[in-house]
Structure 1
Amino acid sequence: MTEHVPAAGRREWTGLLVMLLPTLLLGVDLSVLYLALPRLSESLHVDTVQQLWITDIFGFMIAGFLVTMGTLGNRIGRRRLIVIGAAAFTVATLVAAFSVNAGMLIAARAAMGVAGATMAPSTMALISTMFRQPKQQAFAVGAWMSCFVGGNAVGPLVGGLLLRSFSWGSVFLIGAPVMVLLIVLAPFVLPEFRDENPVPLDLVSVALSLAAVLGVIYGITEMARDGVEFRYVAAVVAGLALGAVFVRRQRRLDHPLLDLGLFGNRTLRNALTISVIGAVFLGGTTYLVTQFLQLVTGLDPLRAGLLLVPSIAAMIAGSLGAPALARRIRPGYVMAAGLVLAAAGYLMLTQVPSTGSPWLLVLGWAVTLGGNGLPAGLGTALVVGSVRPDQAGSASGLSQAFSELGLAAGIALVGSLGAAVYRAGLSDVPASGQTAAARQSLSELLAHPRPDAGLLATARAAYTDGLNVSVGVSAGVFAVLGVLCLITLRHVPAYNQAESGGADENAGPGELVGR
């Protein structure tokens, strides 16, 4: 006899709306800086590598602390941790908004990432507590993911609208009122939950995981700027070594920070692999495209943001429509179709010129993000649904950590590829008073009171080459990911088939134990 599971009431749905606010904000904060970077760089005299750290340190810190904060929430209470994180985020945004140099801004963005990490796993865990019926829980998880994906997509537009009338610091100040509202409402609409027998928090594992990620990314970004040097190679090697130590430690601990046993689940393993690789190239190319609209096309932040509206709408439509498609079509097929569509969009972007109308870029980017919306709308639900109910919290934290890490790493890795191609395009330019600035970054050259017209045209062409190469590589990667989806996730049945009991109970959504 099936046990009756109560439906969520008004308080639970109101609580969901409140939790969607910080989720939307976290998505926005991952990308809101893209259109603010040129003005910010001019004001704080930021070079290319500092730009990368300003944009991606936020995502790195979220990814590095997600699992840790999930464990901490179980110990002190998830609602309490959300409120503490919201308060810390508010302070960090104020510091970021009024930063006076690049170092101060990078530190503030890092603090925002740590604070943001307190909210993501706790909100997802509370959703599983508040919504017990499968269909209601699936809707709530879908709304959470749509807000995160939609926030990431709409971030550049928000930045453009703010920069029309305010300084670059305004892109940070928008977070303060949202967090204050969360602090006020959370005690009334969110339930408290804590583990009666919490596992100990292994701080050594926390330090190892963060040091491993930052070491690898630091080495790669610095090599893109200065070339291959021993110290940068050493940083990458040290990061990889620390990562190996982290994995070995997790295998020995009774209560590991990261349950490596989850990777024995083939559905989770394959879905995470596809999601994180896709996020790397999506995060990096988003950075390059938004910069292109201002630095190469010469648009102001608002007009650049408005040209991104078609792609924002396409991605939101894809992420919202994916679950509906997956009710009749196997999720692996839906995700594969989206990845192939995104690859086609990337191929269109390889033909974008450095002069003329930007509409080819607008169309190609809309196709790319529309395709990306399909796997984005299914990824987390597929991962969480592939494990036992008692593993759902760990699986959701793992999925969020991988997505955040992928998006942030993409800015560093793909952004570094674009920067390397850009500098190669300027290698034969004769030395002049402005050449050094141009080799630092295109924004540095544009900050000059009277940039040389010939040098500016060459620099814009070099930046366009960097974009074309990066999206070309991305097209190939996404095509391969589409094939991998067809091969590795084809055993996952359509949602309607799983609910009707017509599929293997070890493979269906909601009980996808896909071993």
Structure 2
Amino acid sequence: MNEQRVSPSPGPRAWLGLLVVLGPVLLVAMDGSVLFLAMPKVSEALSPTVHQALWILDVYGFAVGSLLIAFGNIGDRYGRRKLLMTGAAVFGAASAGAAFATGPELLIAARALMGVAGATLLPSALAVLSELFTEPRQRARAIGVFAATFAAGFAIGPIIGGQLLNSFWWGSVFLINVPVVVLFLVLAPLLLREVRATGTGRIDVLSVVLSAAGILLTVHAVKDAAAEGPAATSTAAGITGVAVLGWFVRRQLRLEHPLIDFSLFRDRVFTIAAVTGLLPLAAWSATAYLGGVYLQSVLGLTVLDAALVALPGAAVLTVTCIVTPALLARIGTRAALITCHFLITAGMFLLLSTDLSDGIGWYVTSTVVAGIGYGVSFSVVADTAVAAVPAERAGSAAAIAETANEIGNALGIALLGSLAALVFRLQGPDLAGTLDETLKIPGLTAAVIGEAKSAFVTGLHAAAAVAGVLHAALGLLALRHLPRGTADDGLDRTGGSRRGAVPGAPDRVGRRA
């Protein structure tokens, strides 16, 4: 039997352990966004093609998202601290490899390895927290700090990248991970105990392969079609990817221990929460990346100035993540879920007012308004998803919510970024696949430069408009279908308290190895 240890008042070791765990969590989140302002410098140094540039940006998120649930199960069986330390070591080594990559192919490979390692860190970190904080109220507070740190990492990643690029070469945005990883590997054995769970079931390797292959083939087809136009190879890859994903879904419905429990989507509250986990990250990642290119390559800002322009939105997002739990006690989760989508919609539509010469004010206003919506959504998704299902299925619900966040971050760049690339290809001067590649061509006339910048801004507007419309539609669905009292006060459908459940590891009582 598992040994449950109750500690009503966590001591200094618990809080120091939390601080140590937050290091890798912050890195995983930051590396999902740190390249958004750095890509012009990376493009200048490595000259990637348009779809190599997109893969550099989003292969990390796809690797994390496609393996998150699988590594959660592996950690349950073999030990969370062991997996956490192994993942951190690999993450540090891959970061060093990315920092010194000599070509786009090597950088893509290093980013993919970083994503694989990142997938080990998030579920393991949450389970270790459940061992450090066994009293529900204190555990909920620790998880709130965890969630805020993760959201803040996404928000400040571009800012940190911009600051580093102002003084160092582009590889510094990866090399900064190494000392944090080394410090974690030194302190973790002293402050963290091993955590395992029993009865987690067999890991279905074929499901892991099918999910990753289906996602990558489908996204590759979308990117290739956007960059080069429709072709037989991209069409075949897309059809194969969709078929593989269909096979994956059918297999999950038959397995006793599926990677994703699709039956949970029969609950409309859970479904809206899961989509809310995906869509805001997609909108945020796409507009943050495209906005970074806009500020530097269209408006001509330095990377440091671009980072300063992005700072207000990042600050608002982070503060909103921190204050949202207290806000929920006043307005309820239903109102928060509905409001966040309309705020993001407003932020996306404000971005449509940017142009070739006067866009900084509109950009800042857009990121601040949307940042409030992002912060609310990041804070309530996991809790809403967990509260929507029976207690015995909370682990699966939270794992899906976490996966939706990571896949959303990658899909935003893959799909909305590909939409912007398609618009640029159709409306631009047709000299190169990206704005940065075009501007590096010698001897361009002012008219051609203006045409290229105008095509990029139109692509940015197209991506923002699509994201805004999708959020408006989801907000209307939430308004219509979420019952009043949804997840209010942390209560589940039976009235039992669910506040303090650990996303990714609720209902699994840790035991010391």
Tell me if TM exceeds 0.5.
yes
Distance 1:311 1:323, change over 3 A: same
Distance 1:16 1:488, change over 3 A: farther
Corresponding residue number in structure 1 for 2:456: 463
The alpha-carbon deviation at position 269 of structure 1 amounts to 2.3
Aligned identity (percent) is 38
Distance 1:139 1:158, change over 3 A: same
The alpha-carbon deviation at position 253 of structure 1 amounts to 2.2
Cα separation, 2, equivalents of 1:317 and 1:120: 22
Corresponding residue number in structure 1 for 2:384: 382
Query: For each residue in 1:55-112, what CA deviation from the matched residue of structure 2 results, as whole angstroms up to 9, or x when unmatched?
Result: 0000000001101100110121000000000111111011111111111110000000
Moved more, 365-374 or 31-40: 365-374
Cα separation, 2, equivalents of 1:391 and 1:181: 36
Aligned-residue Cα RMSD (Å) equals 2.2
Moved more, 94-103 or 336-345: 336-345
Distance 1:161 1:123, change over 3 A: same
Cα separation, 2, equivalents of 1:197 and 1:4: 22
Equivalent pair of 2:347/2:367 in contact (CA under 8 Å): yes
Structure 2 residue 490 is the aligned partner of structure 1 residue 488: no
Cα separation, 2, equivalents of 1:509 and 1:12: 20
Equivalent pair of 2:6/2:135 in contact (CA under 8 Å): no
Query: For each residue in 1:366-389, what CA deviation from the matched residue of structure 2 results, as whole angstroms up to 9, or x when unmatched?
Result: 211222211111112222333445
Corresponding residue number in structure 1 for 2:446: 453
Corresponding residue number in structure 2 for 1:279: 281
Moved more, 479-488 or 232-241: 479-488
Equivalent pair of 1:262/1:395 in contact (CA under 8 Å): yes
Moved more, 274-283 or 74-83: 274-283
Distance 1:511 1:178, change over 3 A: closer
Equivalent pair of 2:139/2:500 in contact (CA under 8 Å): no
Aligned partner letter, 2:38: A
Moved more, 405-414 or 188-197: 188-197
The alpha-carbon deviation at position 176 of structure 1 amounts to 0.7
The structure 2 residue matched to 1:505, chosen from 492, 495, 499, is 495
The alpha-carbon deviation at position 455 of structure 1 amounts to 1.1
Equivalent pair of 2:136/2:501 in contact (CA under 8 Å): no
Structure 2 residue 158 is the aligned partner of structure 1 residue 163: no
Cα separation, 1, equivalents of 2:56 and 2:302: 21
The alpha-carbon deviation at position 180 of structure 1 amounts to 1.0
Aligned partner letter, 2:53: Q
Equivalent pair of 1:20/1:144 in contact (CA under 8 Å): yes
Corresponding residue number in structure 2 for 1:233: 235
Aligned partner letter, 2:455: A
Equivalent pair of 2:384/2:487 in contact (CA under 8 Å): no
Aligned partner letter, 2:354: V
Cα separation, 1, equivalents of 2:249 and 2:9: 40
With the length of structure 1 as denominator, give the TM-score of the two structures.
0.92
Cα separation, 2, equivalents of 1:235 and 1:134: 47
Cα separation, 2, equivalents of 1:212 and 1:107: 19
Equivalent pair of 1:221/1:413 in contact (CA under 8 Å): yes
Moved more, 448-457 or 52-61: 448-457
Corresponding residue number in structure 1 for 2:505: none
Cα separation, 2, equivalents of 1:266 and 1:4: 35
Structure 2 stretches of 5 or more lacking a match? 503-513
Corresponding residue number in structure 1 for 2:102: 100
Which structure would you say has the larger RCO, counting Cα contacts within 8 Å and 6 or more residues apart? 2
Cα separation, 2, equivalents of 1:169 and 1:24: 18
How many residues end up aligned between the 2 structures?
498
The alpha-carbon deviation at position 135 of structure 1 amounts to 2.4
Corresponding residue number in structure 1 for 2:76: 74
Cα separation, 2, equivalents of 1:141 and 1:388: 20
Equivalent pair of 2:282/2:411 in contact (CA under 8 Å): yes
The alpha-carbon deviation at position 9 of structure 1 amounts to 2.6
Aligned partner letter, 1:71: N
Aligned partner letter, 1:55: L
Structure 1 stretches of 5 or more lacking a match? 430-434
Aligned partner letter, 2:132: M
The structure 1 residue matched to 2:215, chosen from 213, 218, 228, is 213
Distance 1:137 1:390, change over 3 A: farther
What SS does the aligned partner of 2:32 have?
helix
